[in-house]
């Protein structure tokens, strides 16, 4: 019997592609609190633009399989903020933890409709409004928009939810745009559970 090398090669390629896809869709972050002196200098300069009266500023380093980032967490006007930087201290995004009732009703309806299509049950555990640093704006305007709670075009919503499908429960992170379109889904591994909910 002649061995089909083309077929075997295709199977190997598909297996590699599938494993890479699965890996890229998994959130496995490890977070460690650090001293201010270990935080990138550029990021510390950026934080000088924070509004007055913030509380509980803490510094963290965050690692996963693909990158290292730095995060400053604080409380401002009864809301929790997370400001994330890349390894060089350049702003990536600012996230604000919010409650389900803070989501606009049409947006929540679209999010619910998306999740109902896929899962038997789901339960929101954490919701964050996310302001991304993109080429459409600059890092100072991102900060101003986030701390003024503006609804600009570059906002997204990250939702950590416990989902059930065919009696199997998982923890997943969903990213939706401001119109309720599902952008990405990641499986949250158990080791990241406490970190992602904080």
- Specify the pairing of strand 79-86 against strand 68-76: antiparallel
- The CATH T-level fold of domain 26-197 is Nuclear Transport Factor 2; Chain: A, (3.10.450)
The model carries a pTM of 0.79
Q: Would you mind telling me the total number of residues written for the chain in this entry?
A: 198
Predicted confidence band of residue 182 (pLDDT cuts 50, 70, 90): very high
- Spell out the domain ranges in the chain: 26-197
Q: Which of 53, 41, 56, 44 is nearest to 147 (CA)?
A: 53
Q: Which of 53, 35, 52 is nearest to 44 (CA)?
A: 35
- Return all residues near 119 (Cβ < 8 A) that are at least 6 apart: 163, 164, 165
Q: What is the mean pLDDT of residues 138-153?
A: 86
Digit-coded pLDDT (tens) for 21-59:
433 366 667 899 999 999 999 999 999 999 999 999 999
């Amino acid at each position: 019997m002649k061995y089909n090398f083309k077929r075997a090669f295709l199977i190997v390629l598909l297996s590699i592609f599938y494993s890479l896809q699965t890996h890229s869709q998994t959130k496995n972050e490890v977070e460690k609190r650090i001293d201010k002196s270990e935080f990138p200098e550029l990021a510390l300069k950026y934080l000088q633009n924070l509004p007055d009266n913030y509380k509980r500023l803490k510094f963290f380093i965050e690692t996963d399989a693909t990158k290292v980032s730095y995060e400053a967490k604080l409380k401002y006007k009864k809301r929790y903020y997370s400001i994330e930087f890349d390894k060089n201290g350049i702003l990536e995004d600012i996230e604000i933890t919010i409650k389900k009732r803070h989501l606009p009703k049409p947006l929540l309806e679209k999010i619910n409709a998306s999740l109902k299509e896929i899962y038997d049950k789901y339960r929101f555990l954490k919701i964050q409004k996310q302001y991304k640093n993109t080429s459409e704006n600059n890092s100072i305007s991102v900060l101003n928009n986030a701390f003024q709670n503006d609804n600009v075009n570059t906002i997204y919503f990250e939702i950590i939810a416990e989902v059930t499908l065919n009696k199997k429960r998982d923890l997943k992170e969903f990213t939706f745009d401001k119109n309720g379109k599902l952008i990405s889904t990641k499986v949250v591994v158990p080791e990241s559970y406490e970190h992602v909910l904080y």
